[in-house]
């Protein structure tokens, strides 16, 4: 069945728009299938009610609102955990964090990380020729064997854990390159690094994982945004992320990559409500981060893929963070893992056609 779905999807991606009676040129016949690019923009503690497209009237998010209008808005996208590390482990592997023994977050004093026997999305894509890069927060272990370069990524720039933990440093590859991080510039710095990655890798299939440090507390915004939002500093932070997303989408358009790139914008879990004005909003949902109520688990989900996902789509279908691993793997033609359970489901046909589908119930432990 999986083989059939893959073949059907491949036929869709390869299908031509010309008259079938016209003879294809030798050059067209020889053209290889171009693998799609993937960009995952992963915010930290962004709430379900923090974006204009999800009902917020104070925080201005024109780029994200436009992204929703040009693509697909998910009303029922669920994280797999209400805290950072387990959520990221699920995203990277398509597996329940409990299978990996990850029940909570890793700290600077932690000696462990996500087990190196796990196969990450980056590893799966790298194996079939993708350039893989992460910019931002990793939080799956900071000792050498657990860092991104040892787990499928070609490049890494960012912080190894949360920005509220002691000794916030920037790593580039496996080395510390900045021990005095100015967090007011973090979102801007990450955006510049992400744009540079796209520029350098535009001629080959790539996977870019942009994992923002914000709006996890303590929150910071650059001078360009500080004091701009009526929602206060938190609004400034989210509006800067909105601009960052707009710059990523603009870059893809300028480079002629928009029609071959799936962009996913989401968050690791719900907002950290006890921090009051420095925390976000879960909107109409109950509770937030650290709780398995809806506010802690349901997160914003926006997808754009010009020419593939129809504009202006809104879906109430249940999707989980685990589903991205098998879905992107299927779209890319990656090997299907058979030596371990993959808990996520391939929803590539749902993304293409927005047809209702059945998702199994899933536990949160």
Selected catalytic residue, list 3, 7, 16, 84: 84
143 an active-site residue?
no
Distance between CA atoms of residues 195 and 249, nearest Å: 10
Residues 6+ away with beta carbon under 8 Å from 59: 50, 51, 52, 229, 231, 234, 235, 238, 239
State how far the alpha carbon of 52 is from the alpha carbons of 21, 56, 109, 270, 314, in Å.
Answer: 47, 4, 38, 16, 15
139 an active-site residue?
yes
Selected catalytic residue, list 139, 142, 212, 216: 139
Bridge partner residues of 314 (DSSP): 73
Burial 292-305 (b: 16+ CB within 10 A, else e): eebbbbbbbbbbbb
- Contacts of 227-232 with C-beta under 8 Å, sequence gap 24+, read 229/58, 229/59, 229/60, 230/58, 231/56, 231/58, 231/59, 232/277
| Active site residue ranges | 84, 139
């Amino acid at each position: 069945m999986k083989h059939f779905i893959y073949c059907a999807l491949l036929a869709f991606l390869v299908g031509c728009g010309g008259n079938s009676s016209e003879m294809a040129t030798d050059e067209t016949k020889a053209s290889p299938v171009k693998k799609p690019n993937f960009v995952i923009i992963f915010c930290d503690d962004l709430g379900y009610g923090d974006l204009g497209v999800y009902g917020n009237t104070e925080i201005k998010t024109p780029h994200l609102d436009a992204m929703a209008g040009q693509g697909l808005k998910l009303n029922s996208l669920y994280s797999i955990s209400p805290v950072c590390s387990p959520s990221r482990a699920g995203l990277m592997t398509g597996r329940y964090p409990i299978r990996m023994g990850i029940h909570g977050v890793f700290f600077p004093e932690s000696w462990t990380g996500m087990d190196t026997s796990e196969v990450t999305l980056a590893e799966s894509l790298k194996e079939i020729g993708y350039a893989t890069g992460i910019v931002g927060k990793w939080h799956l272990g900071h000792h050498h064997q657990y860092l991104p370069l040892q787990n499928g990524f070609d490049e890494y720039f960012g912080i190894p854990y949360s920005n509220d933990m002691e000794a916030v440093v920037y790593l580039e590859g496996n080395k510390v390159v900045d021990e005095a991080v100015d967090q007011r510039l973090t979102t801007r710095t990450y955006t510049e690094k992400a744009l540079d990655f796209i520029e350098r890798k535009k001629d080959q299939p790539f996977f870019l994982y942009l994992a923002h440090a914000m709006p996890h507390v303590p929150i910071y915004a650059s001078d360009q945004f500080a004091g701009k939002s009526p929602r206060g500093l938190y609004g400034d932070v989210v509006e800067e992320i909105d601009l960052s997303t707009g710059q990523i989408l603009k870059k893809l358009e300028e480079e002629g990559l928009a029609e071959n790139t799936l962009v996913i914008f989401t968050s690791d879990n719900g907002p950290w409500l006890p921090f009051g004005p420095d925390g976000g909003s879960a909107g109409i949902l109950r509770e937030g981060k650290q709780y398995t109520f809806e506010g802690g688990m349901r997160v914003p989900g926006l997808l754009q893929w010009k020419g593939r996902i129809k504009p202006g789509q809104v879906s109430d279908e249940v999707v989980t963070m685990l589903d991205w691993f098998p879905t992107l793997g299927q779209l890319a033609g990656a090997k299907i893992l058979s030596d371990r359970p993959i808990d996520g489901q391939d929803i590539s046909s749902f993304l293409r056609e927005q047809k209702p589908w059945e998702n199994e119930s899933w536990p949160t432990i």
